[in-house]
């Protein structure tokens, strides 16, 4: 009896926290680098030590322009201009695995993609922008509730090597807060906009508890983003054909590590592209997985806990990771009122058993 009531209490508390905490008015201006002189950002900055972060030039451009290679310090490991990836994750360790990722959402086009993913019984990682999370909280919650993996793509999609240390912290933490306030989960993975990162940025990102994920190579960058300029059927079909060829060639090499692809859920045409591309997995004999699954990470968020209480919530009411289909964690339930209604029914059933 005590165990049942304790579980119900935890469920109510977690649901109330996740659903009641989000307030769009608390967040900085959309589509702009957040200011660093606000009390909230200053509080975040006090919690980390930036004194030992490597010092490299702060660049300009969106994306940044590359100077002469000879002028770039060898130990900068700048992905954009030195093709250096450091210890960034660029593959899935198991051959035949397709790490499916989407950047820049959530948008009003994302639900179409979610329907297709559900129909195909596959999960993906969504690298979300804080600006779009704040504008589309219900869609963000749907992604999480349907078992997809949420990761950061920063607040404003500004190249991180062009920002100060403090601005990088603000970009990541505001996005983190938005997702946490909606789902109760603290993201653990990040993809820098444009893949733009160097050892200065890496040091800051890691201090905030993040793991960096890129895509395997330019061959597996779908370049679907460019389709929006001229979203004709001919261009869409050509892009699908070209990317299918890359995927098929990979599938013919069974010994290679799993791949991580780059797609977007930003426009109608990019969602249409993704929907047409999914059948390639079957023809190329690839297994589609979200990034946490392809890495075997059973704790896909910074505040994931070991499973207790039937694997839905940790002993402190924190969700234990992403929910599976129709088995949402308490923190991702649809509002306190719904959970409370279900919980009262559980209480009644429990009491009738005694």
pLDDT digits over 263-285, tens only? 999 999 999 999 999 999 988 88
d(CA 132, CA 121): 25
Residue 319: band (very low, low, confident or very high) from pLDDT cuts 50, 70, 90 = very low
d(CA 330, CA 320): 9
Region 9-34: mean pLDDT is 72
Per-residue pLDDT reduced to its tens digit, 175-217: 999 999 999 999 999 999 999 999 999 999 999 999 999 999 9
Peptide bond into 106 cis (omega under 30): yes
Residue with tokens 């009122």: 337
Q: 133-137 — which CB contacts under 8 Å span 24+ positions?
A: 133/106, 133/175, 133/178, 133/179, 133/182, 134/24, 134/27, 134/30, 134/178, 135/24, 135/30, 136/105, 136/106, 136/107, 136/108, 136/110, 137/22, 137/24, 137/178, 137/182
Catalytic residue among 59, 214, 264, 272: 264
- Going edge to edge, which strands form the sheet with 211-212? 211-212, 189-190, 149-152, 125-128, 101-103, 263-264
Catalytic residue among 103, 104, 196, 272: 103
Q: What pLDDT is recorded for position 254?
A: 79
Q: What pLDDT is recorded for position 321?
A: 59
Tell me the HSE value of 244 on the side-chain side, using a 13 A CA sphere.
16
Region 46-67: mean pLDDT is 95
* Domains by residue range for the chain, with CATH: 2-352 (3.20.20.370)
Region 222-246: mean pLDDT is 93
Whether pLDDT at 325 is above 60: no
Residue 316: band (very low, low, confident or very high) from pLDDT cuts 50, 70, 90 = very low
Q: What pLDDT is recorded for position 340?
A: 34
d(CA 20, CA 70): 53
H-state helical runs in 184-218: 199-207
Region 123-150: mean pLDDT is 99
Tokens of 2: 């005590």
Q: Is 103 a catalytic residue?
A: yes
DSSP for 244-313, please give it. Answer: HHHHHHHHT-TTSPEEE-BEE-SSHHHHHHHHHHTTHHHHTT-EEE-HHHHTT-S--BTT-----TTTTB
Q: What pLDDT is recorded for position 18?
A: 56
Region 63-70: mean pLDDT is 92
Q: What pLDDT is recorded for position 20?
A: 61
Residue 323: band (very low, low, confident or very high) from pLDDT cuts 50, 70, 90 = low
Q: What is the three-class DSSP state of 204?
A: helix
Percent of the chain whose predicted confidence (pLDDT) is above 70: 81
Residue 318: band (very low, low, confident or very high) from pLDDT cuts 50, 70, 90 = very low
Region 65-71: mean pLDDT is 93
CB 339 within 8 A of CB 150: no
Whether pLDDT at 86 is above 70: yes
Q: What pLDDT is recorded for position 252?
A: 85
Q: Is 325 a catalytic residue?
A: no
Per-residue pLDDT reduced to its tens digit, 295-313: 999 999 999 986 543 333 3
Q: What pLDDT is recorded for position 352?
A: 41
Percent of the chain whose predicted confidence (pLDDT) is above 90: 74
């Amino acid at each position: 009896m005590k165990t049942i009531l304790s579980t119900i209490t935890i469920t109510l508390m977690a649901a109330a926290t996740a659903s009641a905490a989000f307030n769009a008015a608390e967040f900085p201006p959309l589509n702009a680098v957040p200011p660093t002189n606000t009390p909230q950002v200053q509080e975040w900055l006090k919690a980390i030590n930036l004194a030992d972060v490597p010092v490299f030039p702060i660049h300009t451009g969106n994306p940044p322009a590359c100077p002469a290679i000879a002028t770039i310090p060898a130990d900068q490991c700048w992905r954009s201009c030195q093709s250096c990836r450091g210890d960034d994750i660029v593959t899935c360790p198991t051959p035949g695995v397709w790490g499916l990722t989407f950047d820049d959402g959530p948008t009003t086009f994302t639900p179409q993609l979610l329907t297709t993913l559900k129909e195909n019984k596959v999960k993906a990682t969504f690298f979300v922008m804080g600006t779009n999370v704040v504008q589309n909280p219900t869609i963000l919650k749907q992604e999480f509730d349907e078992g997809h993996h949420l990761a950061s793509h920063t607040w404003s999609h500004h190249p991180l090597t062009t920002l100060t240390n403090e601005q990088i912290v603000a970009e990541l933490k505001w996005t983190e807060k938005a997702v946490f306030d909606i789902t109760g989960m603290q993201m653990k993975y990040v993809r820098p906009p444009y893949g733009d990162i160097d050892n200065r940025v890496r040091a800051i990102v890691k201090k905030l508890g993040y793991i960096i994920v890129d895509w395997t190579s330019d061959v597996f960058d779908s370049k679907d983003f460019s389709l929006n300029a001229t979203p004709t059927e001919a261009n869409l079909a050509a892009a699908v054909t070209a990317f299918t060829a890359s995927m098929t060639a990979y599938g013919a090499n069974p010994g290679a590590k799993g791949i991580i692809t780059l797609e977007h859920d930003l426009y109608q045409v990019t969602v249409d592209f993704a929907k047409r591309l999914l059948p390639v997995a079957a023809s190329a004999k690839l297994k589609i997985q979200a990034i946490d699954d392809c890495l075997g990470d059973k704790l896909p968020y910074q505040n994931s806990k070991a499973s207790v209480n039937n694997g839905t919530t940790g002993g402190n009411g924190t969700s234990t990771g992403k929910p599976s289909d129709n088995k949402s964690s308490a923190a991702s339930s649809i509002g306190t009122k719904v959970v409370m209604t279900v919980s009262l029914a559980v209480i009644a059933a429990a009491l009738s058993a005694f």
